[in-house]
Chain A
Amino acid sequence: MPPLPAGRVLQVVQAPDPVLATPGMMVDPTAPEVIALAADLLATQAVSPGCVGLAAQQVGIAWRVFSVDVTGHPKARTCHGEFVLCNAVVESATRKERGREGCMSVPDFTGDVARARRLVVRGQLPVTGEWVTLETDAFEAVALQHEIDHTDGMIFLDRVAGPHAVHPRRTYL
């Protein structure tokens, strides 16, 4: 990850805010406002307990930018540390397993969602705009799919496995 300027902590928006249902625009990863957003996402994620990823839609901006950091999570195997990707797409997704996930933007519910545990994602780094391919697995793969969904204007409720797959959310921390 290229170094980023210091970011600001932004307010996280919650469903049913329409921005969460808005597919993101492609961005120029070298543009100053995109670099600033990348830094803001990491700063906001860092002060949010238990948060392992944050998408632009969650801070009110419908762009194709998100951050992820699963460092130290007990379910992580492959871990690329803290990073931001722009214009990311899933290249391949295999070994689907069902898990229960929650989201900072959906405070009342969790949901059972099938997500691939083997994943290849292609996207651009902020600042340089370099295209990178990430191969990952386990929890980082789940986090990436969750964030890429946000950039497509989807939340986990758009993927829950059936009528008994939405649950009241417990207190996490």
Chain B
Amino acid sequence: MTLPPPVLAVTVLGDDRPGIVAELTEALAGVGGNLEDSTMTLLRGHFAMVVLVRTGASQEDVESAMAPLAQSGGLSVDVRSLPDPAHLSGAGQPFTLRVHGADRPGIVASITRVLARHQGNIVDLGTRLGSALYVLMAEVMLPEGTDVEAVQADLAEAASGLGVDVSLHPVDDDLL
């Protein structure tokens, strides 16, 4: 039995311009890469993408295929092998966390520390800084049986200390 090739994580960061995703994925296709999960966004104008790819090519070959992208200026590319996860995250109940308020250092740290104390696992997170307003949105899995009111109370206390507003609501999903 042959094992599937290991998954490689390709991270690309740098100056945004049209065509980066096309160039990146064409290069990966060129080494026989099959894309799995990926995410890409602009962080204050900076291109940021992580893509998981499986390919029979070696990590060195993938790095070589990425070289033109890195050399095209303004982009840093990192390729690394990832072990298969010991377990798939996603157990528990999903909640949406919303935080907004005047920007200051420590908002994300304080709020996410509360979640970590309750064994909450963040599965998606984004933050945005406006001219003065800071916004955090996250999806959090809380273990079955979590005292949600206690989590909400602890979040409210942390938010009060930071001078920001916080809410934590269950995500309802329905099979249709």
A interface residues with partner B (beta carbon < 8 Å): 50-53, 75, 99-104, 110, 139, 142-143, 146-147, 156, 163-164, 167-170, 172
Contacts and interface: CB of A to CB of B under 8 A. Distances in A.
With most chain A CB atoms within 10 A of its CB, the pick from B88, B90, B126 is B90
Contact of A142 (B124, B126, B171, B174): B174
Contacts of A164: 124, 126
B94 A170 contact: yes
B173 interface: yes
Nearest to A50: B175
Contacts of B39: 163
List the 6 closest pairs (A to B, CB-CB), nearest first: A100-B173, A146-B176, A50-B175, A102-B175, A110-B173, A172-B175
With most chain A CB atoms within 10 A of its CB, the pick from B124, B172, B173 is B173
Given A168-B90, A170-B90, A100 B174 contact: yes
A49 to B, nearest CB: 9
A20 B173 CA distance: 22
B118 to A, nearest CB: 19
Interface string B91-109: 0001000000000000000
Contacts of B171: 100
A53 B94 CA distance: 24
Contacts of A139: 174
With most chain A CB atoms within 10 A of its CB, the pick from B90, B126, B171, B175 is B175
A103 B90 contact: no
Given A99-B173, A168-B88, 19 more contacts: A51-B175, A51-B176, A52-B174, A75-B172, A75-B174, A99-B172, A101-B173, A101-B175, A102-B173, A102-B176, A104-B175, A110-B173, A142-B176, A163-B39, A167-B139, A168-B90, A169-B173, A170-B173, A172-B175
A40 B147 CA distance: 43
Contacts of A172: 175
Contacts of A147: 176
A15 B126 CA distance: 30
B174 A53 contact: no
Contacts of B176: 51-53, 101-103, 142-143, 146-147, 156
A102 B139 CA distance: 17
